[in-house]
Chain A
Amino acid sequence: MEIITQVNWSPYAAGIGIGILTWFTFLISGKPFACSTSFSRSSGMIEKLIRGSKVEKKAYYQKTKPRIDWQWMLVLGIVIGAFISAIISGDLRGQWIPVLWASAFGDNIIVRLVVAFIGGIFIGFGARWAGGCTSGHGISGTLQLAVSSWIAAICFFIGGIITAWFLFNIIA
């Protein structure tokens, strides 16, 4: 039981576990892990609540229906799974500002939330443009040796490394 209550495992143990999980998602559900499409579906569902069913007529939502599917439940499951792991290992935070952020940019909550929101826009927009995120391309696509996914995953890190360097060395 001690393993279950440890906050951190070796990154290799966690990674191998995720790799083994992908065998079963392929076998049982016939698909790999992916997350970002669910945010498009959710965004469409929210827009539908506000503007009505005409939202479904948009070309994008013809292709990606604003409905709950396997992957949407997967993302909900991630929240629950991380919550379970955090609570049994005494790591549930309730924290507004990450330590590394505070060390470079201070402890103003509004500043952090605004930057997180802007970053989120880039992530949501970029993931849909790229056709996937760090799970769909970065893990599931690369392990299938898909050309598109290796290119996308490398670009995620090139963009991320340059931007992080700029933020922490020039702006901070």
Chain B
Amino acid sequence: MTKKTVFAKAGDKAPLAWGLGFGILFGFLLHKGGVTKYDVIVSQLLLTDFTVVKVMLSAVVTGMLGIYLMKSLGWVKLSPKSGSVGINVIGGLIFGVGFALLGYCPGTIAGAIGNGFLDALVGGLAGILAGAGIYAAIYTKVKDRILKKGDFGNITFPELFRVNDWAVVIPAAAVILLLLIWIERAGL
């Protein structure tokens, strides 16, 4: 492969540098949050330690408030993924099986490799690459038949309910905060 075909846009290196920089900060925070570890992730799935949920929900609530504020100021555009029952439910459940078997996900496995977990590097990474390759090979077979079942497009909840963004953002933030308080009270 020549350099020209390896990079998405030759000569357009600034976005790549930002990607690397954001990744370094993301990886640093994933390690500090404890979620680069199999024990922490699988304990979440066994419902004995709620660290993963705490990290995810506090990121979601913080991110959501900021992104929707910036959206209302016209600074950013959302990029919600389109989906369907066939895509998100079936794919999500397949992913979940792997989540428990491997104990890392695509982001945290990168962190686990940096953290020095060799089962992530030798076993898990090879498996993810193989799984992604298998999907690319069967993609055309599932594309029209399964992925389009129950299609709902790239909508967000405010669009679905046809309400002002903040009529969903504020209650969602409140529910997430109450859930986190409840988790703390329960000593999880």
Q: A residues engaging B (CB < 8 A)? A: 6-9, 11-33, 35-36, 38-40, 42-49, 58-61, 64-65, 67-86, 89, 91-101, 112-165, 167-168
Contacts of B89 in A (CB 8 A): 151, 155
What size tier do the contact residues of chain B reach? 35 or more
The answer to whether A76 and B157 have CB atoms under 8 Å apart is no
Contacts of B16 in A (CB 8 A): 68-70, 73
Contacts of A112 in B (CB 8 A): 119, 123
| Closest CB pairs A-B (n = 4) | A159-B96, A77-B23, A120-B127, A148-B83
Main secondary structure of the interface of B (DSSP, over half): helix
Q: Which of B24, B98, B102 is most buried by chain A, counting CB atoms within 10 A of its CB? A: B98
The answer to whether B114 and A131 have CB atoms under 8 Å apart is no
The contact of B22 among A25, A39, A42, A84, by CB within 8 Å, is: A25
Q: Are A26 and B100 also in contact (CB < 8 A) when A39-B129, A129-B90 are?
A: no
Q: Nearest-CB distance from B131 to chain A (Å)?
A: 3
The answer to whether A163 and B99 have CB atoms under 8 Å apart is yes
List 14 additional A-B contacts (Cβ < 8 Å) besides A148-B80, A168-B46.
Answer: A7-B32, A25-B22, A60-B140, A71-B19, A77-B21, A78-B111, A85-B114, A91-B115, A115-B123, A123-B102, A123-B127, A129-B94, A160-B100, A161-B46
Q: In the assembly, what is the distance between CA of A128 and CA of B14, in Å?
A: 27
Contacts of B178 in A (CB 8 A): none
Q: Are A30 and B77 also in contact (CB < 8 A) when A14-B30, A117-B123, A151-B89 are?
A: yes
The answer to whether B8 and A65 have CB atoms under 8 Å apart is yes
Contacts of B5 in A (CB 8 A): 67
Q: Nearest-CB distance from A165 to chain B (Å)?
A: 7
Q: B residues engaging A (CB < 8 A)? A: 1, 5-8, 15-39, 42-43, 45-47, 51, 54-64, 66-67, 70, 75-85, 87-120, 122-137, 139-140, 142-143, 147, 152, 154-158, 160, 168-169, 172, 180
The answer to whether B28 and A82 have CB atoms under 8 Å apart is yes
The answer to whether A19 and B20 have CB atoms under 8 Å apart is no
The contact of A95 among B28, B62, B84, B117, by CB within 8 Å, is: B117
Q: Are A124 and B130 also in contact (CB < 8 A) when A23-B66, A131-B88, A144-B64 are?
A: yes
The contact of A9 among B32, B46, B66, by CB within 8 Å, is: B32
The answer to whether A22 and B25 have CB atoms under 8 Å apart is no
The contact of B88 among A22, A33, A133, A151, by CB within 8 Å, is: A151
Q: In the assembly, what is the distance between CA of A1 and CA of B44, in Å?
A: 30
Q: Nearest-CB distance from A9 to chain B (Å)?
A: 4
